[in-house]
Chain A
Amino acid sequence: MSIDQTANTKRWTLLSRLLKRTQAGKLQWNPLGDSDSEFLTAVSDYTITIDRDDDRAPLEGSIRVIVRDCSDRVVEQFDEYDVEPPEGTSGEPASRMFSSLFDAARRQAFDSDAAISDLLNQLGDDD
């Protein structure tokens, strides 16, 4: 199945920027409802959700990104099978990019780094 190159490049760029901003702590992700596998962030009037479901149909990726506009209408939706690394990029597979973004969003939403730091403090030094 061929992928529209313009759409592909934009999706890839969107993923890269989301990942960078999340890793830099500039994007706030929160669990959607009480979910442990679906996270929400907002950029101005737009909301972006990322969710992982390993029970999806075979040709659907397990991690999916959905972009909604200010009317809560889905304006873009894609998964690992809808995106390919554009020519000239490092060649990192799309699935790794999705996975990295999902993990970064989850860690941010659950404040995992603070929890691990706290745990390490509680555990004390090895010596």
Chain B
Amino acid sequence: MKQFLTEHWGDTASVAGLVVSLVGFVIAIRQASRARTAAQRAEIAANQIRSTIYGFDLLQNLTALTQILSEIVTLHRHAAWQAVVERYATARKFVVAIQAAGFAFSVKEKEVVASLRRQLAEMEKKVERVIVSENRPPDASRYNETIRQFQDDITQMTVRIRTKLEQRDVN
């Protein structure tokens, strides 16, 4: 063994160096991998927090929209056209915020939100004409029939999204 080492000292040293390098390399890879995993975990956690905040923002907007739609129904009932115009505009702002929330809405939910935006824009346009040129006012009961349908749809959406957020919190 001693003779072997004496005769092959250079080779042995090279092999030992290679082994040390390989071990160092493996350790470096593991450390880098751990650091990356930790960074990824931090990123996932940050994304979850961000997504939860957006989710609660969305819930707030949906709740506010439901409230405004109720006010619109009452204002229609009292033919308070002057006041309702501003509520349409506010409702549309919430609709836009809901659309922009980036939540994974179902196709049906997307259709509900897009239709509501269009209906509100149309109602606003017609009521503005009533105020400016004293046109015949729209049929309040039919307007309310439309709004009530959306109230139901938005409530269903709110329930689904709240449940989804709660499930995510539990998990």
Contact = CB atoms under 8 A, between A and B. Distances in A.
A49 B118 contact: yes
Nearest to A32: B122
A72 B113 CA distance: 11
Contact of A44 (B110, B119, B138, B149): B110
Interface string A40-61: 1111111101000000000000
A32 B143 contact: no
A108 interface: no
B115 A40 contact: yes
B118 A72 contact: yes
Interface residues of B, number: 20
Contacts of B138: 33-34
A42 B119 CA distance: 11
A44 B122 contact: no
A112 B110 CA distance: 27
A6 to B, nearest CB: 26
Contacts of A34: 138-139, 142-143
A46 B123 contact: no
Interface in B101-148: 107, 110-112, 114-115, 117-119, 121-123, 126, 138-139, 142-143, 146
A125 to B, nearest CB: 34
Interface of B: 99, 107, 110-112, 114-115, 117-119, 121-123, 126, 138-139, 142-143, 146, 149
Given A42-B114, A49-B118, A70-B99, 18 more contacts: A30-B119, A31-B146, A32-B119, A32-B122, A33-B122, A33-B126, A33-B142, A33-B143, A34-B139, A41-B115, A42-B111, A42-B112, A42-B118, A44-B110, A44-B114, A45-B99, A70-B110, A70-B114
Interface of A: 30-34, 40-47, 49, 68, 70, 72
18 contacts: A30-B146, A31-B146, A33-B122, A33-B123, A34-B142, A34-B143, A42-B111, A42-B115, A45-B99, A47-B115, A47-B117, A49-B118, A68-B114, A68-B118, A70-B99, A70-B114, A72-B117, A72-B118
